[in-house]
């Protein structure tokens, strides 16, 4: 919408006023005369959320009326707040609260829709959640120079020269450069994440360095068990060259039940291992820091796999694929990870590695032919394969993938260290 764009939150409307004059300017009448609402020349309705193909969730999204009128304006339509930059309207309703949907349906489409405006844009949010803005404020501050507006929480009339209502989506967790101004890619989006999170990460590093200095001076003595052994100090250069493996751990369904054994095996192979259990309240900058410093990530298929976006291109992403999730694992995370430039390994478990093996006869279609079960519908997939399945890895079988990932990562890491030392 381009021209005289005005909000009217009480009626869930956005109005575009056009002039009857040929000069393109709107005639304003004095407050003494009768208000002229103008002639309505176009009306469209929109629910500004990206998952248009899912009727059930779209019905939960607040609807907006987009109204185009021509004619004089009365004082009843004065601007309470005048903006000289465009607006982008979108909803944070729907599946917001799930990290996959927050990025796939919201943050990435917001980048796709607004990045060409070079931060000269105001975000107007329907179904506004303060926690959402707290969580993603670092990213939003790199897409807009202005504070967002809560559409229904702010009853003032906001006036804009232009508005985009709704967000554009390309594909699962990706950016299609052929549809982007300047041929931007998913790697450009990741560069934005880098800029968004590094100020906070630098603050965390500085805090840790200050604490370490206090420990060194004896002002805050370390307990004997936490002191670094001398032999490790002497070999620190070698330790730092070892690839880092991060395991995204799950609670509840689709957990790796022999995770402790996996950690020990990975350490024997040569990895430095970190186990991370992200929660909905986890600070994204801290998760970004952990993954950005990792060479390999392992996780079981689920929304947390969205965090592959935080890994550096060229690193390894191993997704453990439970029974009945092959298509979703490949479509939602495997293919997008390759587009980001990661080395992707999909580890499809065998029936014996699934907790369902203890519940069903070995010839049951649930174990032998999961695709026949998932074809019955989402409710079967969710009930059987997503909500009731855990994984016990065959470490001999899985270890072969891990050794390959180690060899690749160690070679790559030491090559980079060598190049930096020249």
pLDDT at 415: 77
DSSP 88-140: EEEE--TTTTSHHHIIIIIIHHHHHHHGGGTB--EEEEES--HHHHHHHHHHH
User: In this structure, are residues 314 and 412 in contact, taking their beta carbons and an 8 Å threshold?
Assistant: yes
- Is 214 in contact with 220 (CB distance < 8 Å)? yes
Q: Which helix (H) or strand (E) holds 362?
A: none
**What residues contact residue 151 under an 8 Å CB cut-off, 6+ apart?**
7, 9, 89, 124, 125, 126, 128
Q: Name the pTM for this structure.
A: 0.87
For residue 235, the model assigns a pLDDT of: 40
Residue 34 C-alpha from the chain's centroid: 50
Going across the sheet that includes 296-300, the strands are: 272-276, 244-248, 296-300, 316-321, 343-348
Contact 257, 390 (CB under 8 A): yes
DSSP 194-256: HHHHHHHHHHHHHHHHHHHHHHHHTSSPPPGGGSPPHHHHHTHHHHHHSPEEEEE--SSTT-B
Predicted confidence at residue 34, as pLDDT, reads 38
Are the C-beta atoms of 72 and 25 separated by less than 8 Å? Answer: no
C-alpha–C-alpha distance, residues 237 and 308, integer Å: 28
DSSP class of residue 63 equals P
Task: Determine whether domain 231-421 maps to CATH 2.60.40.
Answer: no
Q: What's the pLDDT score for residue 78?
A: 83
Concatenating the DSSP letter of every residue in 157-206 gives -EEEEEEEES----BTTB--GGGSGGG--HHHHHHHHHHHHHHHHHHHHH
pLDDT, one tens digit for every residue, the chain (422 residues): 999 999 999 999 999 998 654 444 343 333 333 344 667 788 999 999 999 999 999 999 999 999 998 865 544 568 999 999 999 999 999 999 999 999 999 999 999 999 999 999 999 999 999 999 999 999 999 999 999 999 999 999 999 999 999 999 999 999 999 999 999 999 999 999 999 999 999 999 998 888 888 887 765 544 443 333 333 333 434 445 899 999 999 988 999 999 999 999 999 999 999 999 988 888 999 999 999 999 999 999 999 999 999 999 999 999 999 999 999 999 999 999 999 999 999 999 999 999 999 999 999 999 999 999 999 999 999 999 999 999 999 999 999 999 999 999 999 988 765 555 55
Instruction: State the Cα–Cα distance between residues 82 and 8, nearest whole angstrom.
Output: 14
The CA–CA distances, whole Å, from 98 to 62, 162, 281, 325, 391 equal: 19, 31, 11, 18, 22
Q: Are 95 and 60 in contact (CB under 8 A)?
A: no
Total residues found in the chain within this entry:
422
- SS3 state of residue 303: helix
Helix (H/G/I), strand (E/B), else coil: 396: helix
Distance of alpha carbon 297 from its chain centroid, rounded? 17
Residue with tokens 């906001």: 158
Calpha distance 322→355 (Å, rounded): 10
The residues near 147 (Cβ < 8 Å, ≥ 6 apart) are none
pLDDT single digits (tens) 22-59: 444 343 333 333 344 667 788 999 999 999 999 999 99
Residues forming CATH 3.40.50 domain(s) in the chain: 231-421
Residue 238: per-residue pLDDT:
44
pLDDT given at position 74: 43
What is the pLDDT at residue 21? 47
- Which tokens is 52 given? 């248009």
pLDDT for res 71: 62
Task: Please count the CA atoms within 13 angstroms of the CA of 99 that sit on its side-chain side.
Answer: 19
């Amino acid at each position: 919408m381009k021209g005289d764009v005005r909000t009217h939150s009480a009626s869930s409307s956005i109005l575009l006023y056009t002039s009857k004059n040929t000069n393109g300017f709107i005639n304003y009448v004095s407050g003494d005369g009768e208000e002229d609402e103008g002639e309505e020349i176009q009306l469209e309705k929109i629910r500004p959320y990206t998952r248009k193909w899912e009727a059930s969730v779209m019905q939960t999204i607040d609807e907006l009326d987009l109204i185009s009128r021509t004619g004089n304006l009365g004082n009843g339509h004065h601007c309470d707040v005048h903006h000289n930059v465009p607006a982008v309207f979108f909803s944070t309703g729907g599946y917001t609260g799930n990290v996959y949907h927050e990025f796939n349906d919201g943050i990435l489409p917001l980048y796709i829709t607004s990045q060409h405006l070079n931060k000269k844009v105001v975000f107007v949010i329907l179904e506004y959640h303060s926690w959402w803005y707290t969580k993603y404020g670092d990213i939003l501050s790199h897409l807009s120079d202005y504070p967002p507006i809560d559409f229904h929480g702010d009853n003032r009339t906001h006036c804009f020269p232009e508005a985009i209502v709704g967000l554009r989506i390309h594909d699962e967790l990706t950016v299609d450069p052929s549809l982007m101004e300047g041929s931007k890619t998913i790697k450009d989006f990741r560069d934005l994440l880098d800029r968004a999170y590094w100020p906070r990460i630098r603050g965390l590093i500085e805090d840790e360095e200050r604490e370490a200095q206090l420990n060194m001076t004896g002002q805050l003595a370390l307990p004997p068990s936490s002191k670094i052994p001398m032999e490790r100090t002497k070999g620190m250069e070698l330790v730092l060259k070892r690839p880092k493996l991060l395991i995204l751990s799950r609670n509840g369904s689709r957990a790796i039940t022999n995770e402790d054994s996996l950690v020990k095996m990975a350490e024997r192979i040569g990895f430095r291992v970190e186990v991370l259990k992200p929660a909905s309240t986890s600070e994204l900058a801290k998760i970004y820091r952990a993954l950005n410093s990792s060479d390999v990530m392992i996780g079981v298929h689920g929304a947390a796999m969205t965090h592959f976006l935080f890994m550096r291109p060229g690193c390894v992403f191993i997704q453990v694929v439970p029974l009945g999730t092959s298509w979703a694992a490949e479509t939602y995370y495997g293919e997008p990870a390759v587009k980001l430039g990661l080395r992707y390994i999909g580890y499809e478990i065998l029936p014996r590695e699934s907790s369902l093996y203890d519940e069903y006869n070995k010839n049951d279609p649930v174990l032998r032919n999961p695709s026949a079960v998932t074809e019955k519908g989402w409710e079967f997939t969710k009930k059987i394969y997503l909500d009731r399945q855990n994984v016990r890895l065959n470490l001999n079988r899985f270890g072969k993938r891990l050794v390959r990932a180690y060899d690749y990562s160690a070679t790559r890491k030491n090559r980079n260290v060598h190049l930096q030392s020249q």
